[in-house]
Amino acid sequence: QAWENGIQQGIQDGIQQGFQNGIQQGIQDGIQQGFQNGIQQGFQNGIQQGARQGIALGIELKFGPEGLALMPEIGRIQDIQSLNTIHNGLRSVESLDEFQRMYRGYLEKETEQNGKRKTIQPNT
């Protein structure tokens, strides 16, 4: 009887210790993953912000304050490669209309890729 109680207690203690170790390891893994994700997201946000600032400066220098009115729309573009291409494209565009056509192509492409475009169904 004492032997069975000892085994039973050992099993209970083992389960409890395993459970506690599992929780502790899970918490540590979660913190590490969250930290890594936070660093990556901060890095991406910094690059995006820098690209947008470069675009804003280029627009202001090339087209004046009128061009800056486009920044809220450009600010919706998240893809860093697209932002860099738009920034570089400022060198070759000749007019504000030409610039709008260029960046709106990237905006539409990103909107489609993200599934944000909503199709309006006609009333039947």
The pLDDT, as a whole number, for residue 116 is 55
- Distance CA(87)–CA(6), nearest Å, equals 73
What is the secondary structure of 71-99 as a DSSP string? HHHHTT---HHHHHHHHHHTTT--SHHHH
pLDDT of residue 112: 82
- Report how far apart the first and last C-alpha atoms of the chain are (Å, whole number): 79
Q: From CA 109, how far away is CA 111, in angstroms rounded? A: 5
Per-residue pLDDT tens digits of the chain, which is 124 residues long: 777 888 888 888 888 898 888 899 999 999 999 989 999 999 999 999 999 999 999 999 999 999 999 999 999 999 999 999 999 999 999 999 999 999 998 888 888 887 754 443 444 3
**pLDDT at residue number 118:** 45
Q: What pLDDT is recorded for position 96?
A: 94
Residue 77, sorted as left (phi over 0), alpha (psi -120 to 50) or beta, turns out to be beta
